[in-house]
Structure 1
Amino acid sequence: MPTRTATCWVSSSPRRRPRILLLHLLLPSFAVTTPSRSRPSPSSSSSRLRLRCSGDRIMVKAKAIRVHELGGPEVMRWEEVELGDPKEGEIRIKTTAIGVNFIDVYFRKGVYAAPALPFTPGREAVGVVTAVGPGLTGRKVGDVVAYAGNPMGSYAQEQILPASVAVPVPPSVDHKQAASVMLKGMTAHVLLRRVFKVESGHTVLVHAAAGGVGSLLCQWANALGATVIGTVSNEEKAAQATQDGCHHVIIYTKEDVVARVKEITSGKGVNVAYDSVGKDTYKASVECLASRGFLVSFGQSSGKPDPIPMSDLASKSLFLTRPSLMHYTATRDELLESAGEVFANVANGVLRVRVNHTYPLSEAARAHADLEGRKTSGSIVLIPDTDS
């Protein structure tokens, strides 16, 4: 186990020198150094871990994004938080890369029910294990792991997780790649292989084809032998969607989506439509479906869709589903299978992970503003600031 050096200050009379608590008695993996100068100012910048003693516990201090009220990107604050030791079944990780997903926006705005305020957003990260809970096996300090989903709280320099949600990251996969593909990749896997099993000969429609999940859907569906139709907002994104395997790209700001899909499919429609946009697209998605087609609604970046009358589905015996990744990775075996498929397809080149945008973690508000303003394509990754 690597040795980590820490100094623990215990408050006393202002006229006395602070005393040093012997951390090696409480936490053998730490070495204690005696400071030769006065206590550093709390406002000083340092990339080293800072600790505070509380009784028998060692409290790790780290910075995180905190949301104290629901609203726009401006409600996110860069603040110091404290973490204790991991409990039984838990690990603590020092994050190296954090994935940004539209679901983070939904929780910040209150579209989805958020935890009690204040909370730390984020549901995807890669990090290095820095501590393990009592009696835990199968994880050790220094392991590189990733997680996606619950618990929320990845927008932080350090985080405590249930060990059961963490999966090993292969050495061949870069940390930024892993952070950008874990949640989106597992979403794509579930949508293409379990919600509706895409096969060779199928025709699929992917809205927001240049987005994080959309680009992976296009690549994977193409590799499965499907004909892929993607919708995007401009020529630049159209070029990207083509590179990602779209056989046909529709620029919805210039073309009628339904008319173009009917033209491309000779009036038959598509077998499945993957719709993460919601309010602005769901009607077109229904109209683009072939008889017995599937509408897979998995997001609402433009707003919550209006209710769909059952008669709209009955006209062509259509299916409508609103899947959640968490229900398809509820067991450890399901999680490992889905993550394994994603990392394997990254390694063999089926999935090309495009990390087009990186931001310091402290500037997560700017990343959210750009995401909501549709100024991004591909994946967004936050890199934890090195200073405290």
Structure 2
Amino acid sequence: MVKAIRVHELGGPEVLKWEDVEIGEPKEGEIRVKNKAIGLNFIDVSCRKGHFVLSPTPFTPGMEAVGVVTAVGPGLTERKVGDVVAYAGLPMGSYSEEQILPANVAVPVPPSIDPIVAAAIMVKGMTAQFLVRRCFKVESGHKVLIHAAAGGVGSLLCQWANALGATVIGTVSTEEKAAHAKENGCHHVINYKNEDFVEAVKKITPEGVHVVYDSVGRDTFKGSLACLRSRGYMVSFGLASGPPDSVPLSDLATKSLFLTSGSLFQYITTRDELLETAEDVFANVASGVLRVHVNHKYPLAQAAQAHADVESRKTTGSVVLIPDDAEL
């Protein structure tokens, strides 16, 4: 038996329960991993609430972790006991001291990358990678609007877009977060609590921005569309404030706008895509283009408190959960 966080009913942070679970041994094509560090992502909150339904209850949440391989299934040669591996995405279940994974979803972690950093960067870093490199290819001279610019993904988007030569505009909710956004490469920071972000963006760039990266959802969605220039791209990749209202096609037609909802899982559907994306992220961490801010660490057993703090926007950068018996 190992300890894990379990969800028996959908709801607030209080539904996250610390329980004993039996995970068994790896079958053909599987590995057993003892987790060293577990990344917390807003999709975990969305799954807990039922906004994303990826598994019936009860389930163990979590979609990102770094750990050591402790057992391999029959006939498996690609992985061996002692390997340090990371994974992001499905199967859900990383909020656990140990877990069984398909070997093909695990990627090797370079020795130069700290396990805590790797756990903080897998989902967020690969999300940033597909957003700026493939969903909309950011280039020098582009003007980019990034909501939640001090958050885990937002801070990486700011850094990466800046490194690619874009003018980066970020929105935040506090002056403390504004300082973090500037450190992460924002050329212009808008505190939406103090001013209307649409009007602020128009003052910075009257013609509008080339692309908006919006992880907030309902609260910012219509304003994001209003910030776009003609033929601009609206990329929705999160629903922190809930799903937006439906958008009539006529709202897009006035400026010939493009609207997409991007999901990391659709950009790492093959083993080659997964490895290329992860390697790109690790390379940019190693080169210093991406600076990973692990500003909050919680014991895995206190996942409920971590979720509460994330939802109340008390956190900046990345949040990592640490199993009590992890050896770092």
TM-score, normalization by structure 2 = 0.99
Q: How does 1:1-388 map to 2 (within 5 A)?
A: 61-265=1-205, 267-386=206-325
SS in 2 for 1:271: strand
Amino acid at match of 1:270: V
Higher relative contact order (CA 8 A, sep 6+): 2
Structure 2: distance between partners of 1:111 and 1:251: 27
Amino acid at match of 2:311: E
Residues 217-243 of structure 1: CA distance to partner in whole angstroms, max 9, x if unpaired? Answer: 000000000000000001100000000
Whether contact under 8 Å (1:108, 1:114) holds in the other structure is no
Residues 3-40 of structure 1: CA distance to partner in whole angstroms, max 9, x if unpaired? Answer: xxxxxxxxxxxxxxxxxxxxxxxxxxxxxxxxxxxxxx
SS in 2 for 1:99: strand
Whether contact under 8 Å (1:298, 1:324) holds in the other structure is yes
SS in 2 for 1:363: helix
Structure number having the greater helix percentage = 2
Amino acid at match of 2:4: A
SS in 2 for 1:83: coil
Deviation for aligned residue 1:114:
3.6
Deviation for aligned residue 1:116:
2.0
SS in 1 for 2:195: coil
Unaligned runs of at least 5 residues, structure 1: 1-60
SS in 2 for 1:141: coil
RMSD across aligned C-alpha pairs, in angstroms? Answer: 0.8
Structure 1: distance between partners of 2:195 and 2:116: 35
Spell out structure 1 runs of 4+ moving beyond 3 A. Answer: none
Amino acid at match of 1:103: I
Deviation for aligned residue 1:164:
0.2
Amino acid at match of 1:191: L
Structure 1: distance between partners of 2:38 and 2:23: 18
| Percent of residue pairs bearing the same amino acid type | 72
Deviation for aligned residue 1:260:
1.1
Structure 1: distance between partners of 2:122 and 2:29: 22
SS in 2 for 1:171: coil
Residues 47-90 of structure 1: CA distance to partner in whole angstroms, max 9, x if unpaired? Answer: xxxxxxxxxxxxxx110000011110001110011121100000
